[in-house]
């Protein structure tokens, strides 16, 4: 990959961030507004009950994770565990991840994004993460050399994601088989215990990568600056 990589936009319709309203009870953690300690900022999309998030921040005190979960009952369980652990480098957010990221996250500010065992959307493949126009916006929030980690137990989902990463999004990527003793999420524990193969795709954003949203930012009221 070389500098000034531009996507072939004609292959996908454009995401329209200006049409999204902020989530209900929208909040932005202080780490997103003013990162005084200059900690690497990470996102987790679809944190569930927080098993990965809570374990990750305990093992990585030098990084700050914002973990987003939309489903109320899962988030409530996550929030209780977050309060008990009281980790200063974790913020648990109850919101739709797409709307929250659009209104909260600045361009080129995130070091790593976790998407662990997303809904495979087998009956609606347009909603798979790398098939969505939003994925271009998500990449605009990532720093140069930042990483997106996608994990799934659905091989066809992984096959499509790896193909899209290479052919559409032009991201250097590597595919791995998840070790059988890995326990990052409740889903991962369950799938591996059943003898299923789980797959991980690591995608890197090259230096000079360009999107249509590199200079787009909303303020906290959802108004484009």
One-character DSSP codes across 86-117: T-TTEEEEES-HHHHHHHHPPTT-EEEEEEES
Overall average pLDDT of the 126-147 stretch: 97
β-pairing, 199-204 vs 142-152, is: antiparallel
Distance in angstroms (rounded) separating the CA atoms of residues 64 and 89 = 5
In the chain, what are the domain boundaries?
Answer: 96-210
The whole-angstrom separation of Cα 134 and Cα 215 is: 15
**In this structure, are residues 157 and 120 in contact, taking their beta carbons and an 8 Å threshold?**
yes
Fold that domain 96-210 belongs to in CATH: Rossmann fold (3.40.50)
Q: What is the mean pLDDT of residues 101-130?
A: 96
Q: Is the pLDDT of residue 222 over 50?
A: no
Measure the CA–CA gap between 137 and 17, rounded to whole angstroms: 8
pLDDT of residue 211: 96
Question: CA 188: distance to chain centroid?
Answer: 17
Question: Cα 129–133–138 angle (5° rounding)?
Answer: 65
pLDDT of residue 144: 97
pLDDT attached to residue 219: 73
């Amino acid at each position: 990959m070389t500098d000034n990589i531009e996507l072939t936009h004609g292959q996908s319709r454009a995401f329209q961030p200006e049409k999204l309203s902020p989530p209900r009870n929208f909040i932005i953690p202080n780490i997103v507004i003013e990162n005084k300690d200059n900690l690497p900022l990470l996102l987790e999309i679809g944190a569930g009950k927080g098993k990965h998030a809570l374990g990750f921040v305990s093992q990585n005190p030098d990084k700050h994770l914002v973990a987003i979960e939309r489903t109320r009952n899962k988030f409530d369980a996550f929030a209780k565990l977050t309060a008990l652990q009281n980790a200063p480098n974790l913020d648990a957010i109850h919101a739709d991840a797409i709307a929250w990221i659009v209104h909260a996250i600045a361009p080129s500010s995130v070091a790593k994004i976790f998407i662990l065992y997303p809904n495979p959307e087998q009956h609606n493949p347009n909603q798979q993460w790398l098939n969505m126009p939003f994925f271009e916006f998500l990449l605009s929030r990532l720093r140069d050399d930042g990483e997106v980690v996608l994990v799934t137990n659905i091989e066809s989902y992984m096959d499509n994601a790896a193909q899209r990463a290479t052919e559409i999004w032009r991201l250097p990527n590597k595919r791995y088989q998840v070790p059988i003793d890995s326990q990052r999420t409740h889903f991962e524990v369950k799938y591996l215990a059943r003898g299923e193969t789980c797959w991980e795709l690591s995608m890197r954003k090259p230096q000079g990568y360009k999107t249509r949203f590199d200079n787009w930012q909303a303020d906290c009221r959802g108004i484009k600056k």
